[in-house]
Amino acid sequence: MPQLCGAARDPFLMKYFFAGTETRQYAETLKRMNVVAALQSYYHLGFKRQPNEYQFPLYLLDSGGFTIRERGCDEINVNDYAEFINRHDVKIAFNLDTASMEESLKNQAVLENDTQAKILPIYHYNDWCDGSDELKNWIDDGYDYVAIAGSRAPKTSRIRFYEYCFSIVRNRARIHGLAATAIDDMLRFPFYSVDSTTWLNAEKFGEWHEFRNGRIMKSKSLRVESKGPNPRVRDLNQLIADRGHFMRASITAYLEFEKYVTELWAQRGVTWADG
Amino acid sequence: MGGWMTLEVAALITAPWNYKQTEGIEEKKMKLREALKARGQIVNLIVRELPDSRYEVVNGNHRLEVFHELSVKEAMCFNLGVVPDAIARIVALETNELEIPADPLKLGGVVRSIAEAVPVDEILRTLPYSPAQLDAMLLAANFTWDGFRSNSPTADELEAGQGPKKHRALLVLDLPRDLVDRFKAEVKRFDTDAEAIEHCVTHLASFHNDTSQQA
């Protein structure tokens, strides 16, 4: 097991935003470990919940538009989302993205007009497939922080999509990789920030992660001890007892990885000044 | 008597208590095989003597498997002699798990220096890196923003983007049982949900009329 510790904050650190922090128990664990960057979803929080209850210094609010598209139910009213952002004085939020770029652009305009927050536009893999030039337009218009969403695309296409995005944006703006959990992608592309729920795999699958030699090593799932026709399931009580430790180990791994990625890109001449 | 010795591979058996993973390691075993083929045995096995004149492998069980695959007859071993289970296991952990972590940046530098002299395919044949990991380490030497290609989508990617966007929808309809059965039968005729729905919507009126008349 790796040593469990929090990370001292470097203002030039690549930022790994721990997503899935709407659950208070998870947010408390992160807070105890001095994690400073968290992402929450407006959709998961609900209109009445207070965002960023644990006051993470670096905080991003996602609309949850993607979740809704995935589930094919509910909808988010852009005016409600704007009101929520204003009521809680959220500083940085993602646009309410939809399957239609036209509609997303309208939402972007509403949120920019009706709130004081920095609204990050989102360029999707499908937008690229559709031949949309919006990413280029945003950069030309002076956006200095944009989000790209391609993590669900097949790997080869995802790499081509990221290549396109970084060739357009270069060092003119900071890029947030939405759910950009693939370690190789972070080593290959200089994301300013990413978010992921992978650290919650301890809770979901009973597995834990460890940072070793520049990689995040994943343990075998500890939920099942043996495979085959009659798999032996690990003692549930022990699993419950251990999962907190696994989660803390995984958090430590991602904090160490965050530092490593920063150093790696610094070697390549890329640094991220906070802005 | 223990110590350094050359033993017949046929006299070696794997330790039943070996705790290393056995599944999902095919690629690593392939690299191990390639390395043994290229350079022969460099690292010795560690064994202990069993009462039946055979030797249990304390460290090197996967290498032993590869020796069998490559029909290697003899292996250089360090024989612990006759030692209790606990000592054998302690030695296994001491020799397997006391791994000093690498400095990832210095490690990347070493890999890049290798890549200057050895083709990438050759590196990937034996070193424990995937092509993507190797890419990431090699990129450090020559990163430029111009290295990112301004790709246009391929035909397949264009098709993925221009095709109808898929949405999952849950419809709750209050319909007569007969109509539902008829609907289910109709849906089975089509390959995709979209085709089935389009057909049923187009013919909804006739379904309803048919069902009413039957009633």
Q: Which residue of A has its CA nearest to B142?
A: A268
Query: What are the DSSP calls for B187-215, one per residue?
Result: HTT-SSHHHHHHHHHHTHHHHHHHHHHH-
State residue A230's pLDDT score.
57
Distance CA A84, CA A42 (A): 8
Write out chain A residues lying below 8 Å of B101, CB-based: 212-213
pLDDT tens per residue, range A31-52:
999 999 999 999 999 877 899 9
pLDDT at residue B164, rounded to an integer: 41
Closest partner CB to B158 (pick from A129, A184, A264) = A129
Distance CA B19, CA B143 (A): 41
pTM equals 0.70
- Closest Cα of chain B to A165: distance in Å? 8
In this predicted structure, what is the pLDDT of residue A161?
96
Decide if A207 contacts A201 (C-beta within 8 A): yes
Position A42 scores a pLDDT of 94
Tell me what the pLDDT averaged over chain B comes to.
84
pLDDT of residue B163: 42
Q: Provide the strand spans (E) within chain A.
A: 15-19, 37-41, 58-62, 92-94, 118-120, 122-124, 145-149, 174-177, 193-196, 209-212, 215-218
Instruction: Show residues of chain A in contact with B162, CB under 8 Å.
Output: 129-130
**Residue B3: strand, helix, or coil:** strand
Tokens of A225: 């001890």
Mean pLDDT, contiguous 10-residue spans, chain B (215 residues): 93 95 86 94 97 96 96 97 96 91 82 91 89 74 83 82 50 74 73 68 65 57
ipTM field: 0.78
The predicted pLDDT at position A208 comes to 78
Side chain identity at residue A45, one-letter code: L
Q: Which residue from B101, B157, B161 is facing A213, i.e. has the nearest CB?
A: B101
* Residues lower than pLDDT 70 in chain A: 1-12, 72-73, 220-242, 273-275
| A 250-269 residues with CB < 8 A to B | 260, 263-264, 267-269
Q: Do B161 and A128 touch (CB under 8 A)?
A: yes
pLDDT of residue B79: 97
CA–CA gap between residue B67 and residue A147 (Å, rounded) = 51
Q: Is B24 helix (H, G, I), strand (E, B) or coil?
A: coil
Contact check, Cβ <8 Å, B150/A131: no
Query: Out of A72, A188, A263, whose CB is closest to B136?
Result: A188
For A162-207, the pLDDT digits (tens) are 999 999 999 999 999 999 978 889 988 999 999 999 898 877 777 7
In sequence order, the 6+-apart residues with CB closer than 8 A to the CB of A58 are A15, A17, A36, A37, A38
Q: How many CA atoms lie within 13 A of B197 on its CB side?
A: 7
